Structure 1
Amino acid sequence: MKTERGKGARSNGAMAAPSIGPILRERREAMGVTLAEAEVATRIRQKYLSALESDEWDLVPGEVVGRGFLRNYATYLGLEPTEMIDRRRSIADESLAAVLADTSAGSALPPERSVDYRPKDVALRDETEELEAPRRINLVPFMLLLGVAAVAMLVWWSVTQFSDEIAGGFRAVQEQVVAWQQPAPTPEPIATSATDALPGNLVAPTATAGAPEGAAAAPVEQATV
């Protein structure tokens, strides 16, 4: 539906109620307030405030939303919001009735639902916190990877040490088994007499008459034939 700009809509040749835009603009200018200041105070974007003051309702996001903007803006300007809503309803209803009459669908409009379009307070977060949050989150995968690597190194070291101990024990057992399987060395024969122990060219001394008992004679070399 395309609405009027600066002029009231006509229905069946009758002049509609005066437009709302000039009333809003004159009141704001009388207060010495700019659209930017009104935007901050009402939390309604400037383009929508300008559309209300110019009666360009086709730029407003819907009739119901536009009436919510109108109510808040009229309250801010010190105007009677109910009167402004009634003015807008009379204009919009007559325009819609004319359109419906042309389309043979002139049924009664549904009752307007009361919707609270007052802006809600939203807690603002510090930008530094938003920038630091991703940094803290990015460290988590790195820490997890580091922990997994440390655990893997510990497991590898434990397995290596345990394997070395097992290998050392196995070698010791193997050496003992080999030692048991080897035959004992045969002892060398021991000389049974003093004569056998002497060299081949020596003769065991014999006792000489008159020699003191217990005295040993010097060894005599055997005669060579």
Structure 2
Amino acid sequence: MAFGGVERDRIGLNEHTLWSGMPKKGSNGHAIEVLSKVRELVREGRYAEADITCKEMMGPYTQSYLPFGDLHLTFGHGDLHHDYSRSLDLENALVRVEYRIGNIVYTREMFVSHPDQVLIVRLEASVPGALDVRARLDSALRHSVAVDNGKFVLRGLAPEHVSPNYHEVDHPIVYGDETSEAMCFSGYLHAEVDGGMLNVDAAGIHATGATRITLYFSGATSYNGQDTAKAKMRERPRSLI
């Protein structure tokens, strides 16, 4: 999801295997016993009691699909713009943002390569050296950031349990410790610049004096089948990216 801001833009990131929880049995072993009680109540015409008793046959709530994080872009040109346009090319799966600040036209294009599993963001200015951009990754889940071989890296751990938002409990989100078997995930952000200077540190990627910038993002989780303990697969995200 690309929000299309001018001075600041945010791109929502998802990964289809990122869920809360860990491998466990979800069946209700007492359901067959409860069924007999429900049938007896129905035969006796005690329908309200039967309805309440039926709930004892249900299993636990499923776990929750989680947002991976966000790619934040901050531009040094300010927000006094005009001739703004934003488009989505469905045929080519391309998002495009264009606007003018002074005599400079800025363009922003984004697409995802399914074969390569990479999000690509292309930034360009019509005047050489006019791009000043900061890019960083963030997540609502527990995470840390680092620099790895010139790439900005986000590593996180999903909660062991997330209750549905319609289920009121004292602790709807429960995290484990460093031995947790919940899902872990990693995202890597890499930049290439045409002209200018590039710096990567714990605050993100900063490109100055550039004419074109290409950002590459790839993310993965430790999911390796529904019965595999996630803690045993912590190196898997890095091997996939």
Structure having the larger proportion of residues in strand: 2
Higher relative contact order (CA 8 A, sep 6+): 2
Structure having the larger proportion of residues in helix: 1
Normalised to the residue count of structure 2, the TM-score between the two structures is: 0.22
Normalised to the residue count of structure 1, the TM-score between the two structures is: 0.23
Rg bigger for which structure?
A: 1
